[in-house]
Structure 1
Amino acid sequence: MGINVYLSSFDLDVLLEYRTLKPDAEINVLLSYGTVNNNYYDMIVTHREKIDSLILDSGAFTYNFANEFARQKIDLDGFRYYCKTFNDCFDFIFNFDVNFTDSGYAENCMNQKILEEMGIDNVVPVVHDYLGENTDEVGEFIKQYEIISLGSSKYRTDKKVVSEIVKRIKDAGRKVHLLGVSAYNSIKDVPLDYNDSSNWAQAQKFGYIYFWNQPYNPEKPDIMLRFRDNEIDNTKNQLMYFEDYDHRDEVEKYIKDELGITYRDLYGHNSTFCRQLVNTHYFVKLQDRVREAHIANGFDTLYP
């Protein structure tokens, strides 16, 4: 099958509409305990059959970087009982790895054991000490677990470091999930089994859509197109307006043919929802493209 790209903290309305538009599409979803809302039950139980693979994150990232009010809603007791309640609905669950430091191995392992002692047997450990400066976390986890996740670290976007860790895990016959990294050029040459992205939602929040750049440019395979009804600080990404893109006609034809969404829809009263659908489709197709790149790199035979 190849890599699974998970849409992080997905929206129920988008799921239902996208599944209607694309009944045969492969939709993989990561939900986070840190952002639990009233729609989660419907995705976990009522509409579980509409999701191909469903996994659960502990909300540790939110715990570490959110405000105090948000942090108060995230604790180990609440998380473990949530896992216990819905355990059978998730393909796997990430550990409550709240210590993001290089010396957090002991604390995070203790949390892992607490979850496992409750009978939750699909908990995935999360590596934070990428270089093993305090503990050889990768080596320790390889001894015990089938899936190992690479979590928050200053090295998470360092392709050389990540590639070396992934190779070590794969050579040991284990599977690996890279948390929060989804750029095509960051994952196409790395034999990951799983990764996730919240960019489908972040894009519409800041008013832009993803599209595959035309003509194909290996240095910049995709492009982010912004809209004039959502002016943002554009100094960092230098985003182009949708209307100014040289291949705008191709974008319009593509989203009309694929999703039935028109240019007018992207600016209409339901524009946010339509842009979410466009970005969802981009990441579903991203999964296909990364799988193709992995096959071209021979990962399917190297790591069958």
Structure 2
Amino acid sequence: MLLHISSPTVKQVLAFHALYPEWPLNVLLSYAIEQHFQEFQELHRKSICSLILDSGAYTLNKSSWTKRPKDILRGYANFSEFSSKYYDFIFNLDEDFTLHGYDVNMFNQIELEEANLDPVPVVHNLDNDEPDRFIDLGYDLVAIGQCEGGRPFKKLGRVVNNFHENNIKVHLFGVTEIELLDKLPIWSCDSSSWAQYVKYGQVMWWNSELVDWNPMEVLYFPKRQVEHDASRGSNYWDYIYQEQFDHYIEKNLGLTVDRLLGSNKEYYRGLVNILFFKEMERYITERHKKVHGFIFDE
């Protein structure tokens, strides 16, 4: 499975690559977010494994399209015509997230295809024949985006398994729930959670001391050491595995906990979380093969 880190900084990508040159990150960039595209695409492309481009429809939908650029379809097409050679794949401009958005989104899909691009179509309805239409149209990679009413496991599983049985790979947008990724034949996904956890002062790590199959733990670093908020995870200051965590970040990232508390704490906490998701990627990939027998055509 490919787990793409959504919009990391170039500095974080290069820092991780310096530590793990044989284990480069997979990265998702969004057309709707200002970032150093040239550095990712040209200067440091060899430091990245899979690089994919999202149209930014999710970002723009969150703002109810109030910040929508004029003629975004043409702008996205122009950008992609020049830059698509740097990306493993790009996504359609799936601007309509409603249950009845197929026609609008398919119009954009066709427009991009007529510009000699190869966008990945995005499903937004798990209940009608939308997924089957993409099977009939012969796509070999389909994404599943946000859906009205959510993406409950039973419905999502039915659609993902149907794609898999038809030799169609699935990219799942915005999901890194380990139990879900473990049980379904998801070929690719992406996560902005690493940054969201940083925003709220949290880090994640794999605690090998735990015997459970999912050894994920979340820590936070309150300003007052006596503060306790179970909803945020474990308080680092009285964490029973504090010594093991300190050893983990020193061994794997060359960090001491002081780095997670200093003036650049967001940057270093981000590195810890990126490592967590990279380890999750390897963990899920192994379980897909050895436990569930999921095989994806190359």
Q: Same fold (TM over 0.5)?
A: yes
Instruction: Give the match for residue 116 of structure 1.
Output: 113
Contact 2:124–2:147 (CA under 8 A) maintained in structure 1: yes
Instruction: Give the match for residue 41 of structure 2.
Output: 44
Q: How does 1:3-18 map to 2 (within 5 A)?
A: 3-18=1-16
Q: Distance in 2 between matches of 1:46 and 1:66?
A: 32
Aligned identity (percent) is: 32
Q: Distance in 2 between matches of 1:208 and 1:74?
A: 39
- In the TM superposition, what is the alpha-carbon distance from 1:74 to its structure 2 partner? 8.0
My pick for the range that moved more, 192-201 or 74-83, is: 74-83
Q: How does 1:179-218 map to 2 (within 5 A)?
A: 179-213=173-207, 214-218=209-213
- In the TM superposition, what is the alpha-carbon distance from 1:176 to its structure 2 partner? 0.6
Q: 1:148-173 deviations in whole A, cap 9, x for unaligned?
A: 11101146542221111111001011
Contact 2:17–2:24 (CA under 8 A) maintained in structure 1: no
Q: 1:35 aligns with which of 15, 33, 56?
A: 33
- What runs of 5+ residues in structure 1 fail to find an aligned partner? none
Q: 1:129 aligns with which of 125, 129, 137?
A: 125
Q: 2:23 aligns with which of 22, 25, 28?
A: 25
Per the alignment, in what secondary structure is the counterpart of residue 231 of structure 2?
A: coil
Change (3 A) 1:226 1:154: farther
Q: Distance in 1 between matches of 2:102 and 2:243?
A: 52
Q: Distance in 1 between matches of 2:269 and 2:224?
A: 12
Q: Distance in 2 between matches of 1:46 and 1:301?
A: 34
Q: How does 1:143-162 map to 2 (within 5 A)?
A: 143=136, 144-154=138-148, 156-162=150-156
Q: 1:59-109 deviations in whole A, cap 9, x for unaligned?
A: 000111026664347821211111111011111111000100010000000
Measured on the aligned residues, the alpha-carbon RMSD in Å equals 2.2
Q: Distance in 1 between matches of 2:229 and 2:72?
A: 37
Q: How does 1:60-99 map to 2 (within 5 A)?
A: 60-66=57-63, 70-72=67-69, 75-99=72-96
Q: 1:168-209 deviations in whole A, cap 9, x for unaligned?
A: 001011111110001211211111100110112111111110
Q: Distance in 2 between matches of 1:203 and 1:115?
A: 35
Q: Distance in 2 between matches of 1:259 and 1:81?
A: 39
Q: Distance in 2 between matches of 1:28 and 1:156?
A: 26
Per the alignment, in what secondary structure is the counterpart of residue 62 of structure 1?
A: helix
Contact 1:212–1:222 (CA under 8 A) maintained in structure 2: yes
Change (3 A) 1:229 1:82: farther
Per the alignment, in what secondary structure is the counterpart of residue 240 of structure 2?
A: coil
- In the TM superposition, what is the alpha-carbon distance from 1:36 to its structure 2 partner? 2.6
The question of 1:294 aligning with 2:292 is answered no
Contact 2:220–2:232 (CA under 8 A) maintained in structure 1: no
Q: Distance in 2 between matches of 1:287 and 1:14?
A: 18
Q: Distance in 1 between matches of 2:110 and 2:123?
A: 15
Q: 1:206-253 deviations in whole A, cap 9, x for unaligned?
A: 1110012441335x641211112499xx97934221222211111110
Contact 1:181–1:195 (CA under 8 A) maintained in structure 2: yes
- In the TM superposition, what is the alpha-carbon distance from 1:45 to its structure 2 partner? 1.3
My pick for the range that moved more, 59-68 or 164-173, is: 59-68
Aligned length in residues: 294
| TM-score, normalised with respect to structure 2 | 0.92
Q: Distance in 2 between matches of 1:170 and 1:67?
A: 33
Q: Distance in 1 between matches of 2:218 and 2:43?
A: 34
